[in-house]
Every structure is written in C-alpha cells, then in structure tokens.
C-alpha cells in the first residue's frame, strides 16, 4: 500500500465521520458547542491529512515490522472495548483500564502501567469535571448520587 491509498481511505473515513456526526443533536443544550462539534472537527483534521497524503504521497510505504500488525489490531480492540465499557464502568475505571492495557501493549511493567493508568483516569476526570465542567459517567464508582 502506498501513501495515496491511505490518503484515500482517510478521506472516506472523514466523509463517513462527517455524515454520521452531522445529525448528532442533544435533547437539551448543556454545552455551548453541542455534540456534533467533535466529530466534525475530527473529520476536518482527518480529511486534511488524507488530502495531504493523496497529493504528496508518492512513496511506497515500508511494511510494518514483525508484531506491529498484532499490536495495531490489539489497540483497535482496546479502543472498541473502551467505547463499549465507557458508560457502564465509568470514565475513571474505563480510562484506567485502557491506559494500563495500552501501557502493557507497549512493554511497560504491570505496576507502572497500573499506577499510570489510575493517575491518568483520575487526573483526566478531575480536569474535565472541575476545570471544563464536562459531565462524565461515574459508572461503578457512582455511590448513590
């Protein structure tokens, strides 16, 4: 595969993301931007990168090193699992689990990954909840409130 094929796939992904994100509407407005801003912004960035690869990508891409495709597939599975567990487990637990497993995927030690994952989950929760005032699901940590 060369870079132009990847650029074409990126443009198709951006078009799909923009098409699906365009209809997103919240039942009530709790944030000034609204839910469609993030997928449309992401689609714009992906489309820009895809267009750049389509125009400038003339090189034949080198094949991935051994084991890289397995790690890429595992990463995609982790992201899918994160999206599926996000509401039921809550932001802190699901983010900590994902960060721990991603750290292990890149060869980190279990205790370092677990400590880093817990810190990342809690730190990002405090950042989004206290600074940006974004409501995040608590999941299993919702103790009766």
Beta carbons within 10 angstroms of residue 124's beta carbon: 16
pLDDT for 124 = 94
pTM for this structure?
Answer: 0.67
Q: Is it the case that residue 115 has pLDDT exceeding 60? A: yes
pLDDT for 13 = 95
Return all residues near 64 (Cβ < 8 A) that are at least 6 apart. 72
Return all residues near 34 (Cβ < 8 A) that are at least 6 apart. 24, 25, 26
Q: For 11-69, what is each residue's pLDDT tens digit? A: 999 999 999 888 887 766 666 667 778 889 999 999 999 999 988 877 777 788 888 88
Q: What is the mean pLDDT of the chain?
A: 88
Q: Is it the case that residue 4 has pLDDT exceeding 60? A: yes
pLDDT for 89 = 94
């Amino acid at each position: 595969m060369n870079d132009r094929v990847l650029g074409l796939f990126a443009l198709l992904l951006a078009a799909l993301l923009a098409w699906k994100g365009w209809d997103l509407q919240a039942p009530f407005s709790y944030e000034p931007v609204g839910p469609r801003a993030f997928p449309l912004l992401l689609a714009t960035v992906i489309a820009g990168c895809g267009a750049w690869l389509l125009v400038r990508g003339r090189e034949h891409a080198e094949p991935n090193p051994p084991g890289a495709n397995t790690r890429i597939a595992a990463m995609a599975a982790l992201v899918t699992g994160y999206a599926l567990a996000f509401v039921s487990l809550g932001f802190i637990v699901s983010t900590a689990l994902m960060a721990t497993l991603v750290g292990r995927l890149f060869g980190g030690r279990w205790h370092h990954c677990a400590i880093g994952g817990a810190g990342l989950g809690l730190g990002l929760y405090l950042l989004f909840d206290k600074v940006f005032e974004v409501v995040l699901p608590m999941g299993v940590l919702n103790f009766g409130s």
